Structure 1
Amino acid sequence: MQIRAAVTVLKTAPAEPDSPANKDWDLAYSNVLHVQNSAQFPPQWQQKSQSFREQMQAQNRLIADVRYGSEERNLLDIVMPQGQPRGLVVFVHGGYWVRFDKSYFTWLAAGAVAHGFAAAIPSYTLCPQAKIGEITAEIGMAIVQAASMVAGPLHLTGHSAGGHLVARMGTVTTPLSRSLQQRLRKIVPISALSDLRPLLNLKMNDDFRLDLEQARKESPALLEPLNGIDVTAWVGAAELPEFVRQNQALANLWSGFDLSIDEVAEPHKHHMDIIDGLADADHVLTRRLLCL
């Protein structure tokens, strides 16, 4: 087997050592407590999205509430570029699989559509109404639907829990068909939860309903990636140490397979502003996602 992995690491300061037995796991994964004024971000996202949606609707470039499955939240929006799309970007939102919907994140399509790509943003059933494996299947269905409406290369990105979900699409147990796998050009998991086993220690697992078997089955870092894919694992250098470690884990464990993968820790960015670059056509995150 020819190994084509290439890992580029922007180093961050090492986390202070901590005994797993003594670790406060809830605190270790609490972005709300880690980011100053964290409560201000979701309303800002929603406001930006509403403004962008109105702009796109005025130009007849928003295809809203496309149904991709039978569940209530199985809806997606597609923002179209001017002219024929060069390909399709799918952004999957985060929120620990328990919060948010597509209406918060439309504004993040701006960078991709400025370069001539269509951008799809799905909602999905949240925990505890669905288990994480069921959400994985829903995202597969959403990508199938969006890809049936937009031809060309397929680029996937997602944030936090959404980063987990797009990384899962790049594993050998992906719900994507062979034909869609062949269209995959790039996957950029942002601040992804790539190893779900530590989440068994969280109070939030009351909602996730994970056990060890399910955590292993749904952890991209523990699964074999698809041959030949191109992945960039992206995280903020100012994020919680566990998120930096999770990003490193995905890059390190996948680097031994037949794919191209690199790792980026974006300076000064935390969990709530790490996605901002997707709205900027000239930002390195957008350009990396679109292979420009």
Structure 2
Amino acid sequence: MELDDAYANGAYIEGAEAYPDRWAALARDFTFAQTARGKARMGVPYGTGAREKFDLFLPEADAPRGLLIFVHGGYWLRFDRSDWSHLAKGALAHGFAVAMPSYDHCPDVRISKITQQIAQAVAAAAVLVDGPIALAGHSAGGHLVARMCAPGLLPPEVAVRLAHVMPISPLSDLHPLMQTSMNADLGLTEEEARAESPLFQPAPAVPVTVWVGADERPAFLDQARWLAETWGCGHVVAPGKHHFDVIDALAEPDSQMIATLVGG
């Protein structure tokens, strides 16, 4: 369809086909090590569905400084929490616990349902870890963490704890996706596209930094810029990064991304 190429990432990334296996292997090794050390709680339920679970990784300190929740991408169609565990490394090094939820995929559910699932996951993880809450999400996950800033979506006692929200390469306006072949599975209507687009939410009071790779597709650079300009929030365009490696900095304790999310 008209915008298929605009929202195709892998076709413009050298070696793109190797990334999913690489992510899975890194995540598998990290999870094994954390579990062996007693620093992982796997498959914590936040709802009754088979995919309504999150993994919780704990820092060395007995009392975490706070909680980072990372929401993965995949156009609401693919991947789950087990592919991204290694990205917890950066925040763990700063004493934060890290929760990583799975969620149902389209076309089994609508995007609006996934938004509600992530709100449930954030609320459930917040019960287990005290302190400030940072949210980060990539691509479709960037959309989902931005949606958490909508008034009334999170319980008040959870919303007040939000310290930073970072949509990474987010989809902030869903209307263009209606002009892609993905919409056969996403099932977006005009009404849902507007209701589920962070671009049309009120600008939040919580600190937000929109992050995107400088080498991403123009459509994703636009999506990030639209949100940053509309919300009047932070906007980082990371040099030399594309859609698949822009998230690597989450695993790096000394990265600017981690410093922005959880501080020193």
Structure 1 distance, partners of 2:75, 2:167, is 14
Does residue 67 of structure 1 match 2:42? no
Does residue 235 of structure 1 match 2:235? no
Identity rate of aligned residues, in percent?
43
The residue that corresponds to 1:190 in the other structure is 168
The residue that corresponds to 2:82 in the other structure is 103
Structure 2 distance, partners of 1:225, 1:179, is 20
The residue that corresponds to 2:126 in the other structure is 147
Report how far residue 169 of structure 1 moved: 0.3
The residue that corresponds to 2:258 in the other structure is 286
Task: Choose the corresponding residue for 1:135, options 89, 114, 117.
Answer: 114
Does residue 212 of structure 1 match 2:200? no
Matches within 5 A, 1:80-119: 80-83=58-61, 84-119=63-98
The residue that corresponds to 1:254 in the other structure is 231
Q: Which stretches in structure 2 are left out of the alignment for 5+ residues?
A: none
CA contact (8 A) 2:215 2:242 kept: yes
Paired AA for residue 51 in structure 2:
R
User: RMSD of the TM alignment (CA)?
Assistant: 1.0
CA contact (8 A) 1:186 1:291 kept: no
Does residue 79 of structure 1 match 2:51? no
Aligned pairs, number:
263
Local SS of the residue matching 1:25: coil
Larger Rg: 1
CA contact (8 A) 2:2 2:179 kept: no
Structure 1 distance, partners of 2:37, 2:192, is 44
Local SS of the residue matching 1:27: coil
Report how far residue 140 of structure 1 moved: 0.3
The residue that corresponds to 1:31 in the other structure is 9
Report how far residue 238 of structure 1 moved: 0.0
Structure 2 distance, partners of 1:89, 1:201, is 34
CA contact (8 A) 2:203 2:230 kept: no
Deviation >2 Å, runs of 4+: none
The residue that corresponds to 1:56 in the other structure is 34
Structure 2 distance, partners of 1:180, 1:145, is 10
Task: Choose the corresponding residue for 2:100, options 121, 124, 127.
Answer: 121
The residue that corresponds to 2:142 in the other structure is 163
Report how far residue 37 of structure 1 moved: 1.5
CA-to-aligned-CA distance 1:222-278 (integer Å, 9 cap, x gap):
11133x2100000000000000000000011111xxxxx210000010000000000
The residue that corresponds to 1:6 in the other structure is none
The residue that corresponds to 1:42 in the other structure is 20
| TM-score (norm: length of structure 2) | 0.98
Q: Which stretches in structure 1 are left out of the alignment for 5+ residues?
A: 1-22, 256-260
CA contact (8 A) 2:104 2:114 kept: yes
Does residue 201 of structure 1 match 2:173? no
